[in-house]
Amino acid sequence: MALKHVNALIVGAGAGGGVVAKELATAGLSVVLLERGNWYSAADCRKDDLRNQRTTVLGNAFGPDEDRNPRVLVDDRGESIVWPSESGYSNNAACVGGGTFSYGAQAWRYVEKDFRMRSTYGVVAGSTLEDWPIGYSDLEPYYEKAEGELGVSGDVSNNIFQAHRNQGLPMPPLSPNKEYQILLPAAKRLGWHPFDLPMLRNSVPYNGRCACMRCRWCVGFACEVNARTGTHNTVIPAALATGNCEVRTASMTREILLDDRGQASGVAYFDGNDRFQRQTADLVIVSCGAVESARLLLNTRHRLFPNGLGNRYDWVGRNLHAHTYPAATGLFDYDTYDDIGPGASIAICDFNHGNPGLAGGGMLANEFIRLPYQFMNQVPPWVPRWGRTHKDFVRTAYKRTVTIMGPVQEMPMFDARVEVDPKVKDYWGIPVARLSGKKHPHTLEIARFVAGKAETWLQEAGAVQTWRRMPGPSLSGGQHQAGTCRMGNDPKTSVVDADCRLHDVDNVYVIDASVHVTNGGFNPALTIFANAYRSAHHLLEAWKGSKVRS
């Protein structure tokens, strides 16, 4: 039986798709939101330190399904099949809420220069560094809307590097933990500008949900009291409440359906019972995350688009990047661990831009609260990896360390890319994503500089020993994946226009971090939300003008 035609079909119920669903449904459009994963709740916290979305040694907690979703990775070691819980897969959760269901929930606005990287720093050899076709001022009202509708806590008033904002944050910061109290005076002594981390986490009751209870099971887990904010507990329920939106979970989209003229007419997908379905729609919005959005476009073939939809000039899947995370850990001669989550609490933006000889930088903040097994990654390189000394170090240092890290803005690379593999298929017989490429050497240079600042901060704070953890040169993806459907004014060097509509087809939009030209030196969630609000606004303007209705 044919499914009822709808106005808008959104693929992916993550950060971008959730916001778009709410905006379109509120405006009166009929909406179907397809999500390949499940809808989890606060009851799915489970507190399993070996099986969650951050520590995946026994699998991912929130998808995608481990045995159904391989990818192909091409790197120095060759070409191989990788699975969702493995490094190299570049996983982001597959569930209602997407990454926002189990993320750390930092709520950053990018700054003006983040949208004008090419104008600010010029050409970086070997990188496709470019300006966005929009600027901070285009996003500012939507940042404000995202902060208010979803709910952000923190106090950024001491951040002298932030871009202009019309309002403060709607909720106060959480009370400071011990690391905050140690790091605050040290940053001030260094002449830096520390402030309370902005977070999509209720510090007071907000929008009908309670405040954070400061537990240990935060990043990677479902929030047990529903105080952490994602699209699953804000905009998606709001979309459903309009009566105009239907969410279909466990639904794996195969391709976008195109008519003879090359206009989208809907999507083909497999439902939760593996039945093949066609859902027709006036509009298709692709919001699957940078890897899967590119894969879906590339798997959509047509006489007019033999190399994939939107891929006339070979830009779909290019410029896959995320963030490079340098870190430094300091050992103190007293207990720094206070068992109060979420842990991450204090940040500086002194090194996002204006670093001599470097094209950018990154924000620095203390790391989230750690569980015992996670501490294995923080043991310094000079401690033997096994035997008495290692155990003794863990026993002595577990409660006496502080880690500072930050998302360094990456130089996008044309050859860091998503393709569809010619041979390997997933459980449903759909060609899988094939990832290849590396980080730009300048990204690693910036990371070294930023790691040095993290180490300086810890030394000033009184650490008796400090050490760095530097990322390798392999491809970045994961939760912060971005860049594969670049936004731009020139169809020859981008995939979507400034409204996030495909250059090729006027009723298909890509609305997620795929469109980010560059990814800021910040966690990207709030920017994805803001751009989704902005794009939805422009989409609705076009819709009302009947420009897209078939």
Partner 1 sequence: MPNSRRQFLGAGLSAAVAGSAISCGAGPGGHHGASPWRFFTAEEGRTVDAICEQIVPADRDPGAKEARAVNYIDIQLTRAFKRYRKAYREGIAAVDAASRKKFGRRFAELPAGRQTEVLTDIEKSSAAFFELILAHTRQGFYGDPRHGGNRNRVSWKMIGVPFPPIRGREHYDQPKVG
Binding footprint of partner 1 on the chain (CB under 8 A): 47-51, 57-59, 66-68, 70, 72-73, 77-83, 86-88, 204-205, 208-217, 224-225, 339-341, 372-373, 375-376, 385-388, 390-392, 394-395, 398-399, 421, 423-426, 432
State which amino acid sits at residue 233.
Answer: N
- CB–CB of 236/253 below 8 Å? no
Which helix (H) or strand (E) covers residue 534, if one does? helix 525-544
Identify the DSSP state of 208: T
Give me the amino acid identity at 425: K
Nearest approach, Cβ of 66 to partner 1 (angstroms)?
8
For β-strands 346-348 and 431-436, DSSP reports them as unpaired
Q: In the complex with partner 1, which residue's Cβ is closer, 208 or 357?
A: 208
Nearer to partner 1, 151 or 483 (CB): 151
Residue closer to partner 1 by CB (options 220, 360) is 220
Q: Which is nearer to partner 1, 163 or 397 (CB)?
A: 397
| Structure-token pair, residue 232 | 């699953």
Q: How far is the CB of 337 from partner 1 (least distance, A)?
A: 9
| Residues making up the chain, counted from first to last | 550
For residue 351, what are the contacts with CB-CB under 8 A and spacing of at least 6? Answer: 361, 362, 363, 364, 406, 449, 450, 453
Smaller CB separation from partner 1, 66 or 155: 66
Q: How far is the CB of 7 from partner 1 (least distance, A)?
A: 34
Report the C-alpha gap between 39 and 190 in whole angstroms: 46
What is the C-alpha separation between 421 and 434, in angstroms, rounded? 5
Nearer to partner 1, 47 or 492 (CB): 47
Measure the CA–CA gap between 526 and 518, rounded to whole angstroms.
15
Closest to 266 (Cα-Cα) out of 510, 23, 512, 11: 11
Pick between residue 314 and residue 339 the one whose CB is nearest to partner 1.
339
Which of helix, strand or coil describes residue 432? Answer: strand
Structure tokens at 488: 């731009």
Residue 62 · residue 40 · CB < 8 Å = yes
In whole angstroms, how close is the CB of 2 to partner 1 at the nearest point? 32
